[in-house]
Amino acid sequence: MNAFTTTGLPRALCVTGLLSMLSLGAPIALAQDAPVRIGLMLPSTGTYAALGAAITNGFKQYVDEQGGMLAGRKVEYFAVDDESDPAKATEKATRLIKRERVDLLVGTVHSGVALAMARVAQNTKTLMIVPNAGADELTGPLCAPTLFRTSFSNWQPAYAMGKVAAERGHKTVVTLTWKYAAGQQAIDGFKEAFEQAGGKVAKEMTLPFPNVEFQPFLTEIAALKPDAVFVFFAGGGAAKFVKDYAAAGLNKSIPLYAPGFLTDGTLEAMGEAGEGLLTTLHYADGLDNDKDVAFRRTYAQTYKLKPDVYAVQGYDAAQLYHAGLSAAGGDVRKQDVIIKAMENATVDSPRGRFTLSKAHNPVQNIYLREARGVDNKVIATPIEALADPARGCNM
């Protein structure tokens, strides 16, 4: 058990204090008055470090907008760097749940890490919100009443890009990604729509996560001469890939497509190499709904950073939990009430309002965006209200 309380006082001291309050007839501090304990298990090092920071910023922005409280309760954060390392995930999630006794587990970016977290959360019946990781299983075979996602499934934006690539007249595509759940599921989603529409994925290439030695693959793409290339990369690795693609001269001859993680939060680092890239995602610059305008203004003022999809997903994780906790009058023990309210919530997201599917994944528009300067400008909405098929979810 944690030797220290949320106030930082040794536990023994607190028991003594409580007993003396009782004898003096002072009001007893109820569990209800203690802060809500939020575990933020996100990457703060490695290729996904900036993504973890944006999610944290977004989550805290929403809480700060509620005066630092959720459903009338103060919030205490317990942050852990998951290092995007699945091998360390079970131990780190267990520590947050067992030692820090978090009421809500928020995480993470990397699909492999999130899958391990979800198993620990499920075994301990801990409420968990995924603010990024797209692993299809989380809202598929591993779906659970206590597991929610405010981001996307890997299938969603990739499937939309398969449709767009086919509509743009491409017939053969070569794919490249890191070899782990997110990349492989993105390729599968793209291929499903692209091949349904008559296209052909001629070759699927992978490299281990988070390697950035792209040269041999670029040489092979140049030799294969497909109509287009589809990739899944994100964070630091995405910026490096796009720069290498341009340096090899491939951007002049073979169009490059990807889910929008390729260009969200990375355009500045890409410079000229990113200009004009077309990507699909559930967020974009220039959506210009009232919520988005206010969200972006506050985010830029508070963090001196441009908001991106990760910040939005973190903000919405806090919003979703707030909807649940409010219905329970701030009582974290009323898990059934919290879950029901979260299931029925309409989240007023900067991406546009969304609801959750039966499997607890956002049903959302997928936008086609074009990189212009440091913006991913929305140019079309290829699929409205897209729900993940939730294959294997029995809920």
Give the tokens for residue 129.
Answer: 């919100």
110 near ligand PHB, judged by CB under 6 A: yes
Contact between residue 46 and residue 58 where contact means Cβ atoms under 8 Å apart? no
Of 24-32, 95-103, 105-113, 377-385, the segment contacting ligand PHB by CB under 6 A is 105-113
As a whole number of angstroms, the distance between CA 25 and CA 135 comes to 53
Radius of gyration over alpha carbons of the chain, in Å?
Answer: 22
Instruction: Pick out residues in 41-70 that bind ligand PHB (CB under 6 A).
Output: 48, 51
Instruction: Pick out residues in 117-146 that bind ligand PHB (CB under 6 A).
Output: 132-135
Q: 182 or 278: whose CB is closer to ligand PHB?
A: 182
Q: 324 or 365: whose CB is closer to ligand PHB?
A: 365
Contact between residue 303 and residue 347 where contact means Cβ atoms under 8 Å apart? no
Instruction: Pick out residues in 164-203 that bind ligand PHB (CB under 6 A).
Output: 182
Amino acid at 349: S
Q: 317 or 339: whose CB is closer to ligand PHB?
A: 317
As a whole number of angstroms, the distance between CA 364 and CA 354 comes to 6
| Of residues 128, 60, 141, the one with CA closest to residue 93 | 128
Q: How far is the CB of 113 from ligand PHB (least distance, A)?
A: 8
Q: Is residue 298 within a helix (H) or strand (E), and if so which, with residue range?
A: helix 290-303
328 near ligand PHB, judged by CB under 6 A: no
Of 71-79, 108-116, 141-149, 352-360, the segment contacting ligand PHB by CB under 6 A is 108-116
> Cα–Cα distances in Å, from 393 out to 116, 140, 329?
18, 4, 30
Amino acid at 5: T
111 near ligand PHB, judged by CB under 6 A: yes
115 near ligand PHB, judged by CB under 6 A: no
Contact between residue 368 and residue 278 where contact means Cβ atoms under 8 Å apart? yes
Contact between residue 59 and residue 315 where contact means Cβ atoms under 8 Å apart? yes
Q: 118 or 325: whose CB is closer to ligand PHB?
A: 118
311 near ligand PHB, judged by CB under 6 A: no
Q: Is residue 228 within a helix (H) or strand (E), and if so which, with residue range?
A: strand 228-232
DSSP conformation class of 39: E
Q: 48 or 194: whose CB is closer to ligand PHB?
A: 48
Give the tokens for residue 275.
Answer: 């200009």
Q: How far is the CB of 209 from ligand PHB (least distance, A)?
A: 8
Question: 290-303 and 49-65 are packed helices; what angle lies between their axes, rounded to 10 degrees?
Answer: 110
218 near ligand PHB, judged by CB under 6 A: no
Q: 48 or 148: whose CB is closer to ligand PHB?
A: 48
109 near ligand PHB, judged by CB under 6 A: yes
Q: How far is the CB of 114 from ligand PHB (least distance, A)?
A: 7
Count of residues interacting with ligand PHB (CB under 6 A): 13
Task: Using DSSP bridges, classify how beta strands 73-81 and 36-42 pair: parallel, antiparallel or unpaired.
Answer: parallel
Instruction: Pick out residues in 239-258 that bind ligand PHB (CB under 6 A).
Output: none
As a whole number of angstroms, the distance between CA 152 and CA 126 comes to 21
Q: How far is the CB of 56 from ligand PHB (least distance, A)?
A: 15
Where does this chain bind ligand PHB (CB under 6 A)?
Answer: 48, 51, 109-111, 132-135, 154, 182, 234, 261
